[in-house]
A = this chain, B = another copy of it.
Amino acid sequence: MQRIANLLICKDGKVLLLKKPRRNWYVAPGGKMEVGESILVSAVREFTEETNATPIGPHLKGIYTMVIEEDGERIDEWMLFTFVANDLEGTPFHETREGILEWHPVEALNTLPMAEGDRTNLLFAVQEKGMQYGTFVYTPDFSLITETIQQSSEGEVNNG
């Protein structure tokens, strides 16, 4: 089971996105969790490798089960963990092996080309309090078949 962590910087009303060359779709920088890592350590390491900058105060916003279906058969499944941070240290690369890093206004998340599930995740990450959970089912070509979403927020804490 592959586990992917990505991290969206949202600073001064702008978000840092990676434009991937294959379709010119935008994603938040990230990549694969390694054996024995915690998911926060993965997110920070992958973000730093891809951007040359370090996120400040990263916090988990969503956990998603990603499923690829073809002809009604499940052919792949992985988990996606989406973090947000409101600041970063260092100057991000402009171009990397993975694509081109660009700052966009937060509102552009509504319209930039990207996987529809990513739009759901990234808008939640920057606009809402609490945690989002869900399952996204895609075709092999990344058309969204179904999305099922839940969310939760912090309750009381027993500091007795």
Chain B residues contacting A59 (CB-CB under 8 Å) are 130-131, 152-155
Partner-B contacts on A (CB < 8 A): 1, 3, 10, 13, 35-41, 57-60, 63-65, 67, 74, 77, 79, 81, 84-86, 106-107, 126-131, 133-135, 137, 148, 150, 152-160
Q: A1-B1, A36-B67, A84-B155 given. 12 additional CB < 8 A pairs? A: A1-B3, A36-B77, A37-B135, A40-B150, A59-B130, A59-B131, A60-B60, A60-B152, A86-B155, A106-B158, A127-B159, A154-B154
Copies per assembly: 2
Cα–Cα distance between A133 and B63 once the two chains are bound (Å)? 14
Contact between A150 and B65, CB atoms less than 8 A apart: no
